[in-house]
Amino acid sequence: MRMGLRDLKHWRLRPGLSVALLTAMAGMALWGLPIGGALERWSFDLPTVFSHPGSFPELVLIEMDETAHAELHQNRGQPWDHRLHARLVDFLRADGARVIAFDVAFFETGADPDALPELSRALRAHGNVVLSAALVPINQPGFHGDRIQRPRQELLGPGVAWGVLWYHPGPKGEEDGVVRLHPIGRDASPSMPWMAAQAAGAPVTTSGGRHNAERWVRHYGPGDTLPSVSYWQATDQPPGFYRGKTVFIGGRPDVSFVGEEVDQFFTPWSRGRGSKVSGMEVTATAWLNLMRGDWLNRTPPGAELAALLILGALLGGWMAGVSIGRAAVIGAVAAIIVFAAALWLFWARNLWCNWAVVPVVQFPVALVACAWIRHRQLQIEKQWLESPLGEELFPASATSGSAQAIPIAGVNAPARIPIAARNAGAPLIPDYELLRCVGRGAYGEVWLARDVLGGFRAVKIVRRVAFDDEGPYEREFHGLQRFAPISRQHPGLVPVLHVGLQREAGFFYYVMEAGDDESSGAQIESAKYAPRTLSRALRPGAGLAAAEVAEIGAALCAALGFLHERGLIHRDIKPANVIFIAGQPRLGDVGLVTDMSTRGGGVTQVGTEGFIPPEGLGTASGDLFALGRMLEMLWKKPETGLDEAAQKFSEILRSAYAQDPAQRPVSAVALGGQLREWLEKKANGL
């Protein structure tokens, strides 16, 4: 199917929109589907681990740990002695503790029923105590739910409140053991952290805040970040240690006894390390959030989705308009900016959002889409360039009718150009009759032409319409400007005989010596002409002997050395760009010739895949890399294996395209010297 110019232009306009839409939709899909739960969790966890713990003078945790269990002689399989709790509460009241919050289940009378009234007396005497209730699941035929199990009624009364402890599962219902949402109560029954905050006078509890509003936990640090003492040492603290503080009393991870339920959870820190924190520490953290007003809120779903769509569209559209390398840089910078913005929202505005979708999903999707579109675009451009140019470039009125006389400078009789040639897309070139298009590339087409004296020449036409913008077009022309003055000074370069610019017609051209015919050499028959290049040696079953490859390599090294000595580099050495004239290989396709850069900086990264060095283009060493790769491809290695001479030849070639530029020959002249030396030794049987 023939590709028209209109189709080509559409393919140049559509990529930005296509990549933008694909990137935005990918972000939306991962944002809204359960499969995106991992990204949502990481969006919460990563900013958390960058937080600074800070100090916590307003609370202390009293841990019922293994040491306390042993020192206080508590019986396993039974709740702790209520008299111990009563004495501790009396001590805390005397020391001035502001609030006491028990993360302990007081659902049983204990081993000594007479101790329960003593604990009740101590709690009421303090007058600002919060106990914990639990949600107990109900599983009956036809009904599944839960009910609130309150502490023993004997313990409740004036100054003794209770709150529910129940931790919400992770985002999208995927429980991974990390507590991210505040404990929530049930309808008129607030959570235990809320009740403890209310007892401590938190502004949020007195200013109309809802106890069951969605709040996200701001974790202040890994396990043991909050100040704590062991239960058995709680009364050994100096006077005033508990004054004005809220004291949480409860179990510690990895320590549990029958009758004492100890919840264990991961935090964003402890999950990666495998350690856990107690439910009491999570409860105290939620209380701190309420007291300080620094709990986290999630951005509204509509705003979050809109931001992802806009960012995805902008990122995809921007990346589609540049090279793959620049697209990767843009995506990486965008990912860093998004992460920095997420940290700022987290720290400065107490907000979090599902920002990980951008760097983890949208950036890779945009990069892969850009790579595929680049590949497809090159295929379409190649298809267009290899198709007849016809009416889309030249109106029918300009190509219809009989043959027209074209005045040629210096000749009295007019020359006539066949209409067939012009209908095939041949422009008017003064003094030359374009006979047949013999080659097309990314930046133009090459025609076999006849000059006024009847000699054959090659004319390259570079059309502005084949480029997205002026950059590549100007690059081709400037490369020609640099190359033309010196092209006739060395036998290893294709000489440029004439340069012409036709701005109104939208192209420039240059005239070169015609290369040998692939079949007949210097005897050119226009109807069958095909220029001889090194590409022929890459055909299946073809290839060149080592000595022939070395001869060609030495000749091309001399030409490259000539260019490099004048501060120019070629940047596109490959078999198709080595043309034979009078049987000698010469470097052609001069459009990518440019000024040399010692480090490759500031040089447009163009060229042909497979011949571009790892460090990029722009240096003489990069030309050596491409030359070494080409010579290696041309060499048809013996099927019986390499002898000593062949091994040495292989080492020379491998050094030319070494990944590390420091391991390559210091110059083209040096590489050429190695090849000539190898040829001399081979000729002498050494």
pLDDT tens-place string over residues 532-576 = 888 877 777 778 999 999 999 999 999 999 999 988 888 788 888
Exposure string (b/e) for 291-304, b if CB count within 10 Å is 16 or more? bbeebbebbeeeeb
164 bridge partner residues: 133, 191
Q: Is 613 exposed, middle or buried (0-12, 13-18, 19+ CB in 10 A)?
A: buried
Pairing of β 405-406 and β 415-416: antiparallel
Superfamily (CATH H level) for 388-531: Phosphorylase Kinase; domain 1 (3.30.200.20)
Listed in sequence order, the residues at least 6 apart from 439 whose beta carbon sits closer than 8 Å to its beta carbon are 445, 446, 531
Determine the pLDDT at residue 196. Answer: 95
- CA atoms within 13 Å, Cβ hemisphere of 483: 30
Determine the pLDDT at residue 397. Answer: 36
Determine the pLDDT at residue 54. Answer: 81
Contact in structure between 679 and 550 (CB atoms under 8 Å): yes
Determine the pLDDT at residue 1. Answer: 40
Determine the pLDDT at residue 423. Answer: 38
Q: How far is residue 68's CA from residue 49's CA, in Å, rounded to a whole number?
A: 31
In sign, the C-alpha dihedral spanning 77, 83, 85, 88 is: negative
Pairing of β 277-278 and β 143-149: unpaired
Q: How far is residue 116's CA from residue 93's CA, in Å, rounded to a whole number?
A: 18
Confirm or reject CATH 1.10.510.10 for domain 533-686, answering yes or no: yes
DSSP characters over 441-475: ETTEEEEEEEETTS-EEEEEEEEGGGSSSHHHHHH
Determine the pLDDT at residue 253. Answer: 54
pTM above 0.75, yes or no: no
Q: How far is residue 295's CA from residue 346's CA, in Å, rounded to a whole number?
A: 10
* CB count in 10 Å sphere of residue 379: 12
The 8-class DSSP code of residue 61 comes to E
Residues lower than pLDDT 70 in the chain: 1-16, 32, 34-35, 77, 111, 142-144, 167-175, 252-263, 271-275, 377-425, 441-443, 468-469, 590-610, 686
Q: Is 227 exposed, middle or buried (0-12, 13-18, 19+ CB in 10 A)?
A: middle
Determine the pLDDT at residue 391. Answer: 34
Q: 462: left (phi > 0), else alpha (psi -120 to 50), else beta?
A: beta
Determine the pLDDT at residue 597. Answer: 46
Determine the pLDDT at residue 611. Answer: 80
Q: 240: left (phi > 0), else alpha (psi -120 to 50), else beta?
A: left
> Is residue 330 within a helix (H) or strand (E), and if so which, with residue range?
helix 324-348
